[in-house]
Chains A and B, each alone.
Chain A
Amino acid sequence: MVEKKEKYQNRIELLQGTLDLLILQTLQWGPQHGYGISVAIRNRSGEILQVDTGSLYPALHRLEKQKWIKAEWKVSENKQRAKYYQLTAAGKKHLSRERSKWSRLSDAIAGVLNPEQM
């Protein structure tokens, strides 16, 4: 059991930068709390990407520290108090930079993987 968990953590570790990007992208559609973000990512990826809470919360707090997102306590639709995160101006700029970087990267990787389609 211990073994399995370690491997899982390793995979998330590799996706660290990507997770930041996914969080920022999710927040572009409006403020959201941690649980909401994880559900949104899971749904939008067609249930393929499972966000590990062990990475999600450290990432949220890190992004907040870098002032790309800011947090606020609000009451949810279900009358529940939750901490909502939202993008800052700097966060939006950072997101667009990261997105173009990501699309260049994925194009490049796609080119390498499928040379005949170029």
Chain B
Amino acid sequence: MWWRKAREADLDQEVRAHLDMATQERVERGAAQKEAERAARREFGNMGLIKESTRDVWGGGSLDRLMQDLRFGVRMIAKSPGFAAVAILTLALGIGANTALFSVVNGVLLNPLPYPEPEQLVELRESKPNFATGSISYPNFMDWQKDNRTFASMAIVRGNGSFILTGLGEAEQVDGVFVSSGFFEQLGVNPVLGRAFAPGEDRIGAAPTVMITGGFWKRKFGSAQDVLGKSLTLDGRDYTIIGIIPATFDLLGSLRTREVYVPIGQWSNPLLMNRAAGLGIGGIGRLKPGVTVQQARADMERVTQNLAAAYPEADKSIGAAVIPLRKWLLGSVEPFLLVLFVAVGFVLLIACVNVANLLLARSTGRAHEFAIRSALGAGQGRIVRQLLTESVLLAAMGGGLGVLLAAAGTRAALDVLPMTLPRAADVAVDVRVLVFAGAVSLLAGICFGLVPALKTRKPDVHETLKEGGRGGSGTRHRAQAALVAAEMALALVLLIGAGLMMRTLAALWNVNPGFEANKVMTFGFSLPPSMTNASPEAIRAAFREVHDRFQAVPGVQGVAFSWGATPLQGDDEWLFWIDGQPKPASESEMNWAIDYVVDYDYLRIMGIPLKSGRFFTAQDDEHAARVAVVDEVLANQFFAGQSAMGKRLHLSGGEILEIVGVVGHVKQWGLDTDDKETLRAQLYTPFMQLPTKGIGGGAGVVVRSDQPATVFPSIRQANNQMSSEQVVFGAQTMNEVIASSIARRRFSMILLGIFAGLALLLASIGIYGVVSYLAGQRTHEIGVRMAMGAQRKDVMRLVLSQGLKMALLGVAMGLAAALALTRLMADMLYGVDASDPLTFAGLAVILTLVSIAACYIPARRAVKVDPIVALRYE
């Protein structure tokens, strides 16, 4: 910038010439040389400032000044590395936590669904009296597809398929999905190899075909190109492999990976063509361009009403639920991510307040420097700009470190807590996250830099210089106290949020699920595929043999097969009417109950209490009279005021059951939500009396053991000794089942807990720092007081009360803010009110105690002040 230097010299000379001429004129009028020079200078004014504003006119100066400010900022930061390290680390924590959570919000909520025109995609469900979003029956789906006018396409997806794979290494269970033709085209997914299902290939009776995922292709075939046309043996049937689905494709909303996709028509379930059956089938539709969800709903209303008229027995009061796919997949995640985002924002605010306080304390010390600079011609805007440059520089360093922390921390957190978030794989630090981090850093830098910068804005040059650098004014102390109170308030809000979540979790853990979870584990079981077409007698014999073999495994205290619903996992319903009442005209007018088809030992294994009558015995088998056991809810709902014992139920399938016992209710739908569900009646029937049609190759198994977490390998061993094609899979203890049913709340609690802990730590450091600083400023005063006879405890009280005043103000503000904000998270709470007085009061007391502890250290130090030294310090 040589031209700049030349102009600088030019300006210098111009100003000097001006002064010389003014001096000379005064001398000519008779003034003494010295006197004239001084007068000329006084008349000229602040030379530095005038040069500065003249330079401003030249333009191009702002970049120049920025570089100058940056250089100076770096030098200032390097000069006090301790201060810089604390500030940068504090900011890194705040910005890092925000960036981490934003990368989650970005990946899960902000990024569009990975399909072309995702806003046209909707989830399709049947709305039924007991289920707002129930399963679609296959015949109804085909009529929907045919009769609608608003959809470009519709496809079926039934996610919970489970197949036994044989003939390719050790027999294993694989998770699969039943879909209709057009499913992949609708989502815009192209096979990496081969083709997708052709129209008609999904019909019942079509030749068996299968598509496999990239992961499965790699695992089982080493990604060999010649895999197309080979056959895959699933449940004993040969399927021709026709295409490979990209490894990146993920069936959204599912938290498990699926490996094989099979046309819906291949499903051997005898109820597939039953119009009233609920088989867990969902649908995905693509609206025609320009069609709104409301229009589609109106259209489907018409379609379902026509079906209800045509098939009253099955379709009376069956409607269609049309839900935008994004809302269906992510609607439940949104509120809890929002709460976490607010919480983490508070952490950053506290971090900013802390750094602002540090800067304030430092700017008091630098008052002398600023006075000198402004005397030398620095404009006020210039000094503010310099301070802001310094704080933004600090924020940028903190932000850089924070992004690194976030990148490492996010993955770690998601790996520790899987199964809580859909689309967790989409969470990454991308451009948008970096832009966010940059913006947050800049904003934070301006926020925490502005307060001290404005405080130093109007330095009284004269006074400050006279004072000789021993600084400190009342307004600055008030600002610091207000900032500390604010961060106390923010910390209290977070503590209360985390406290409410912890009480929620505690309340949930104390909910009695209706069974004893501690000693029970469960897994899936499948007979060899060769048994599929065996006679019911042979299948029952095989189950009995397996039962005895598992029962003999060391550590196993009881084994029971279970079919139908499993507590807190899958549900299954049966329809019935009570003997003596007329048979309802349609299925929707029948009574519904959750069915558990279980072995006679089930009640003891699960620890469900027997209320009256008896449970099943080994004699309640296929040869005995059909019996049933009901839960208290069913008994009270249908036989209120009388005994349920001996009453008879007609199942929609035609069987008649006699009730022989009543047992306790099990929280099928979840620890928190079960009470609110309408369908809660439960019906138990003996496993061996399962209709011969329904008895197939697979069942769930529940095992009672003192070591539920470690007994499974021995069971697997016993199983493999029986047959290499017989498979056990998916072992879980009941405690794990309960834990995963509340995983999302636990995830929120852990994160809120971390944020609250961070907030508490930062706030304590904040109040400690400010009280220490203020006590240090008052060393002289304290010395005087002690010299005048003040006792140690008086001094102690003096310092503590100063801190306590800030803390209490903060606590009061925090309580008010929390009262307003915890309402946001009311939906996440259970068993505790959003304004629970105990949590509020308890945490307010804890925060106050922590701040007293933080103030105690500087108070102790103040007490040790030696009056002689303090006074001499002057």
The residues of A with any CB-CB pair to B shorter than 8 Å are 1-2, 33-36, 39, 52-54, 57-58, 61-62, 65, 76, 78, 80-83
Query: In the docked arrangement, what's the CA distance between A78 and B28, Å?
Result: 12
Inter-subunit contact B44/A82 (CB<8 Å) = no
Q: A1-B462, A65-B57 given as contacts; is B15 within 8 A of A57 (CB)?
A: yes
Is B824 engaged at the interface, CB distance under 8 Å to the other chain? no
Which chain A residues lie closer than 8 Å to B24 at the CB level? 78, 80
Query: In the docked arrangement, what's the CA distance between A54 and B51, Å?
Result: 8
Q: A53-B50, A54-B45 given as contacts; is B58 within 8 A of A33 (CB)?
A: no
Measured CB to CB, the nearest residue on chain B to A2 is B460
Measured CB to CB, the nearest residue on chain B to A65 is B57
Inter-subunit contact B44/A53 (CB<8 Å) = yes
Q: A2-B461, A54-B45 given as contacts; is B54 within 8 A of A61 (CB)?
A: yes
Question: A113 CB to closest chain B CB, in angstroms?
Answer: 33
Is B557 engaged at the interface, CB distance under 8 Å to the other chain? no
| Binary CB contact string for chain B from 529 to 554 against chain A (1 if under 8 A, 0 otherwise) | 00000000000000000000000000
- Cross-chain pairs A/B with CB under 8 angstroms, 17 sampled: A2-B458, A35-B21, A35-B22, A53-B44, A57-B14, A58-B53, A58-B56, A61-B54, A65-B58, A65-B59, A76-B21, A78-B21, A78-B24, A81-B17, A83-B13, A83-B14, A83-B17
Question: A106 CB to closest chain B CB, in angstroms?
Answer: 28
Which chain B residues lie closer than 8 Å to A62 at the CB level? 57
Inter-subunit contact A35/B53 (CB<8 Å) = no
The residues of B with any CB-CB pair to A shorter than 8 Å are 10-11, 13-15, 17-18, 20-22, 24-25, 43-46, 49-51, 53-54, 56-59, 458, 460-462
Which chain B residues lie closer than 8 Å to A1 at the CB level? 462
Inter-subunit contact B45/A82 (CB<8 Å) = no
The majority secondary structure among interface residues of chain B is: helix
Which chain B residues lie closer than 8 Å to A80 at the CB level? 17, 20-21, 24
Which chain B residues lie closer than 8 Å to A61 at the CB level? 54, 57-58
Q: A53-B18, A54-B45 are in contact. List 13 more A-B contacts (CB 8 A).
A: A33-B17, A34-B14, A34-B17, A34-B18, A52-B45, A53-B45, A57-B14, A57-B50, A58-B53, A62-B57, A78-B24, A80-B17, A82-B14
Measured CB to CB, the nearest residue on chain A to B19 is A35
Query: In the docked arrangement, what's the CA distance between A76 and B24, Å?
Result: 13
Measured CB to CB, the nearest residue on chain B to A33 is B17
Inter-subunit contact A83/B45 (CB<8 Å) = no
Query: In the docked arrangement, what's the CA distance between A54 and B45, Å?
Result: 7
Inter-subunit contact A83/B10 (CB<8 Å) = yes
Query: In the docked arrangement, what's the CA distance between A91 and B50, Å?
Result: 24
Q: Which of A39, A53, A80 has its CB near the most chain B CB atoms (within 10 A)? A: A53
Query: In the docked arrangement, what's the CA distance between A76 and B20, Å?
Result: 12
Nearest 3 interchain pairs by C-beta: A61-B57, A35-B21, A35-B18
Which chain B residues lie closer than 8 Å to A36 at the CB level? 21
Query: In the docked arrangement, what's the CA distance between A82 and B14, Å?
Result: 6
Measured CB to CB, the nearest residue on chain A to B28 is A78
Measured CB to CB, the nearest residue on chain A to B40 is A35
From B11, B21, B53, A54 is in contact (CB under 8 Å) with B53
Inter-subunit contact B462/A82 (CB<8 Å) = no
Question: B627 CB to closest chain A CB, in angstroms?
Answer: 98
Q: A53-B44, A62-B57 given as contacts; is B13 within 8 A of A81 (CB)?
A: yes
Question: A7 CB to closest chain B CB, in angstroms?
Answer: 14
Which chain B residues lie closer than 8 Å to A34 at the CB level? 14, 17-18
Measured CB to CB, the nearest residue on chain B to A76 is B21
Which chain B residues lie closer than 8 Å to A2 at the CB level? 458, 460-462
Query: In the docked arrangement, what's the CA distance between A83 and B53, Å?
Result: 19
Query: In the docked arrangement, what's the CA distance between A61 and B14, Å?
Result: 11
Inter-subunit contact B58/A35 (CB<8 Å) = no
Q: Which of B56, B57, B59 has its CB near the most chain A CB atoms (within 10 A)? A: B57
Q: A35-B22, A65-B57 given as contacts; is B17 within 8 A of A82 (CB)?
A: yes
Which chain A residues lie closer than 8 Å to B20 at the CB level? 80
Question: A63 CB to closest chain B CB, in angstroms?
Answer: 9
From B57, B458, B461, A58 is in contact (CB under 8 Å) with B57
Question: A52 CB to closest chain B CB, in angstroms?
Answer: 7
Inter-subunit contact B56/A82 (CB<8 Å) = no
Which chain B residues lie closer than 8 Å to A82 at the CB level? 14, 17, 21
Which chain B residues lie closer than 8 Å to A35 at the CB level? 17-18, 21-22
From A54, A58, A76, B46 is in contact (CB under 8 Å) with A54
Query: In the docked arrangement, what's the CA distance between A93 and B45, Å?
Result: 33
Question: A17 CB to closest chain B CB, in angstroms?
Answer: 15
